[in-house]
Chains A and B, each alone.
Chain A
Amino acid sequence: MPDLGYKNWQKRNIVNRLLSVLAGLFSFLCILPLIAVLAYILIKGISTFNLDLFTKLPPPPGGEGGGFGNAILGSIIVTTIAALIAIPIGVGGGIYLAEYSTGRGFSQFIRFGTNVLAGVPSIIAGVFVYGVIVSTRILFGNTFSAIAGGTALSVLMLPTVVKTTDEGLKLVSNDLRRAALGVGASRFVTVSQITLPKAFTPIATGVVLSIARAAGETAPLIFTALFSPFWPNGIFDPIATLSVLIYNFSAQPYDLQNQLAWSASFLLVVFILALNLLARWLGRFASK
């Protein structure tokens, strides 16, 4: 009878076990930061969670109480502006790439450009908008403003939206397209009535993910939207956002401000993780 038994102390088996344990250890190290960050945010964020955070303004340095209602509102405003700019342009660009372009020359270049733009550091988007909008006072003589911040964020959202639209539409079968064109529908009707609705879920997933990313971005806002300790005063003025608040308050030597930074982190992370899980759920919904 041949001996087929697993020999614990054979060299190759020891090596294999060691390498597997090592890979497992690496995986553990990989998820450790997530666990540690979430744990601290929960501990530090929940312990002081109260309604004042939503309704009050940040306290002056050394002051007491307060919240960051203005930053919550500001984050919503700036992200909305970014979405309003990036989604129409991005979806439009994606539709062009997938439905109208020939797939050669120009559109290849655009796809390449989209990937390159996705790799541009976020701070550079800030520098760019600073150069175009803030320093030139192009918007009615205003410098730092909510709209400048929103524009900077939209530069970062754009490639994601273009890419997911392009890829989502490419998944729609060509038979469907030919069928619609075959019964005499125009290009435009085909795209708007047939292919776009079919590709809705992947596009929506991509859009949700890009919003989640934009909501947490800080670097492009520091010198475009700036910050403001007051309630938002229209979109042509500097505005507070949660992410910039975390940055500013983490550097202050006061416990209270640090504490507010943790609470803001808690809120931001909960919001972003919720959006991510929503996108995931959308994706699962689509595959059914």
Chain B
Amino acid sequence: MASMVALILISILVVVFWGSLESMGRYGLNFLITSNWNPVDDEYGAFTAIYGTLVTSLFALVIAVPLGVGTAIFITENIIPLKVRNIIGLMVELLAAIPSVVLGLWAIFILEPLIRPFLMFLYEDFGWIPIFSTEPLGPGMAPAILILVVMILPIITAIARDSLNQVPIQLRQAAYGVGATRWGAILNVILPAAISGIVGGVMLALGRAMGETMAVTMIIGNSNVFSWSLLAPGNTISAMLANQFGEADVGQLSSLMYAAFVLMVLTLLVNVFAQWLVKRLSLKY
């Protein structure tokens, strides 16, 4: 029965690879760098979706890492009473339990209208920067990034919290013992000792962000037209799959499978790297 896990994993790879063979043969690696996705002419290139996947998850990471690590520090180092810390920890864990589709609903009706004035301000005052160069008209990459932040925050916080808790008490004592202030100890001794675990957690979060589907699909706008701008609607591989897979015809299906294969390879690489990092950590301590 244990081999079922391996069997499923391998068959997922095989099924997705098999399905994408035709499209691979037709477009080769050009698929990755062309951006016209046109079911009518039966021409496919996934650059828009790949760009969207990478850009949304990386930006989400940039915002979520400081927030998550900061929160983890706040709830492991005794800055405030233990009771309050436990409540914050519990709430962050519960945030992880909220289904993605519910967050998507919330993003459509609450979050996006709420931040639109701010996005408008970015467009009007910083429109000369390519990533702010279009007028925000509703769904787009920017709100998708924010909802991704909400989704990966709990993972980063939880893993950073575990890594910080694993730092041996002796090391803490050493730092405070030579007269370090709280943040002197955190920044110079405790955080460096926990860093490989935290980086592993960040990589896991990156994998999650790249594969995250529902909330992103609902708020990103699902546009196949390429734009550098974060304020414009865009697409990610998983959003494209969610949207088009159900009613695709044969040629499109194969291209979608190809896109799924790309996503699979990306997340696999990130996950294996994350596991390797975490393992290296557990060997060290």
Contacts and interface: CB of A to CB of B under 8 A. Distances in A.
B275 A250 contact: no
Given A126-B245, A127-B245, A219-B242, A34 B91 contact: yes
Given A217-B99, A218-B100, A265-B102, A34 B94 contact: yes
B1 A23 contact: no
A115 B15 CA distance: 20
Nearest to A212: B97
Contacts of B176: none
A159 B6 CA distance: 11
A15 B242 CA distance: 48
A22 B71 CA distance: 9
A4 interface: no
B29 interface: no
B101 A243 contact: yes
Interface in A97-150: 97, 101, 107, 109-110, 112-117, 119-128, 130-132
A192 interface: no
Contacts, number: 235
A121 B213 contact: yes
B106 A40 contact: yes
B246 A89 contact: no
B284 to A, nearest CB: 19
A46 to B, nearest CB: 15
Contact of B95 (A20, A33, A101, A251): A33
Contact of B214 (A88, A92, A223, A247): A247
Interface string A244-257: 00110011000000
A139 to B, nearest CB: 16
Contacts of B88: 27, 30-31
B74 interface: yes
B75 interface: yes
Contacts of B272: 116
A93 B246 CA distance: 33
Given A34-B94, A219-B100, A272-B99, A127 B110 contact: no
Nearest to A21: B79
Contacts of B210: 121
Interface string B173-216: 00000000111100000000000000000001001101111100
B35 interface: no
* Secondary structure type dominating chain A contacts: helix
B80 interface: yes
A32 B271 CA distance: 29
Contacts of A13: 181
B238 to A, nearest CB: 5
Between A22, A123, A269, the greatest number of chain B beta carbons within 10 A of the residue's beta carbon is seen for A123
Contacts of A116: 9, 268, 271-272, 275
Contacts of B232: none
Nearest to A251: B218
A215 B75 CA distance: 30
B233 interface: no
Given A23-B74, A113-B9, A243-B99, 17 more contacts: A12-B184, A23-B79, A24-B79, A26-B67, A34-B98, A93-B1, A107-B2, A110-B5, A117-B9, A121-B211, A123-B241, A123-B242, A124-B264, A126-B241, A132-B11, A158-B4, A262-B105
18 contacts: A12-B181, A13-B181, A16-B182, A19-B183, A30-B68, A30-B88, A110-B2, A113-B6, A119-B204, A119-B267, A120-B12, A127-B16, A159-B5, A223-B245, A243-B214, A250-B109, A258-B109, A276-B94
Interface of A: 12-13, 15-16, 19-20, 22-24, 26-27, 29-31, 33-37, 40-41, 88-89, 92-94, 96-97, 101, 107, 109-110, 112-117, 119-128, 130-132, 155, 158-159, 162, 212-213, 215-219, 222-223, 226, 243, 246-247, 250-251, 258, 261-262, 265, 268-269, 272-273, 276
